[in-house]
Amino acid sequence: MASLNAFRWLQRSAMACKRFYYRHAWGMDLHPTCRFSLSARFDTTYPRGLHVGAFTYIAFDAAILTHDMTRALYTHTRIGDCCFIGARSVVLPGVAVGNQCIVAAGAVVTKDVPPNSLVAGNPARIVRENLDLLAYGRFRTRAASEAAKEPAGERT
């Protein structure tokens, strides 16, 4: 029985085709090295307002918005380099997520996120700062990963 990893090339090919479609048909600014789940949702109402940096990963069912119909707002939403946008999170229009950031699963990002930070919750609040991340929002060391799991008050 073959492992599902044997079909990884197919998923990557589908993602590359979708990225090509978003960039050339819709005019979105997606860096060639960014990755995203095939179920991630990018706002096509104002597609030129979407900017995703290098080595960023957007997980399944995440929504990146560039317009707000109630306020007639069409604005630029930016996601920096080496970020991870968690599953089912929402990045609202006009928000800038800095470089090397993690947006936790289910978070609703309503305000700009400073670089090197982890945000979580609804509305998203800073949980950790001064993160040192690698490509696609991965922690540099296992110790850093474990430290990010601890509640802020318990750190020594």
Contact 55, 81 (CB under 8 A): yes
CA distance 69 to 66: 10
Which regions of 24-101 does DSSP assign to beta strands (E)?
29-30, 35-36, 41-42, 50-52, 57-58, 63-64, 67-68, 73-74, 77-79, 84-85, 90-91, 96-97
Residue 156 has pLDDT above 70, yes or no: no
9-13, 36-40, 105-109, 123-127: least confidently modelled range: 9-13
Global pTM value: 0.87
Dump strand ranges (E) for 6-83: 29-30, 35-36, 41-42, 50-52, 57-58, 63-64, 67-68, 73-74, 77-79
Pull the structure tokens for residue 109: 């990002």
Collapsing DSSP states into helix, strand and coil, what is residue 82? coil
The amino acid occupying position 135 is A
Share of the chain above pLDDT 70, in %: 91
Mean pLDDT value across residues 87-91: 97
**Mean pLDDT, to the nearest integer, of 34-41?**
94
Q: How far is CA 22 from CA 16, 50, 140, in A?
A: 10, 10, 31
Let me know if domain 31-149 sits in CATH 2.160.10.10. Answer: yes
What is the pLDDT at residue 154?
A: 54
**Across 81-86, average pLDDT:** 97
pLDDT at res. 120:
97
- The predicted-structure confidence for 90-127, as pLDDT tens digits, reads as follows 999 999 999 999 999 999 999 999 999 999 999 999 99
Percentage, residues of the chain above pLDDT 90: 76
Using left for φ > 0, alpha for ψ between -120 and 50, and beta otherwise, residue 8 falls in: alpha
pLDDT at 32: 94
Q: What's the mean per-residue pLDDT of the chain?
A: 91
- Picking from 58, 56, 49, 57, the residue whose alpha carbon sits closest to that of residue 29 is 49
34 and 22 in contact (C-beta within 8 Å)? no
Locate the domains of the chain by residue range.
31-149
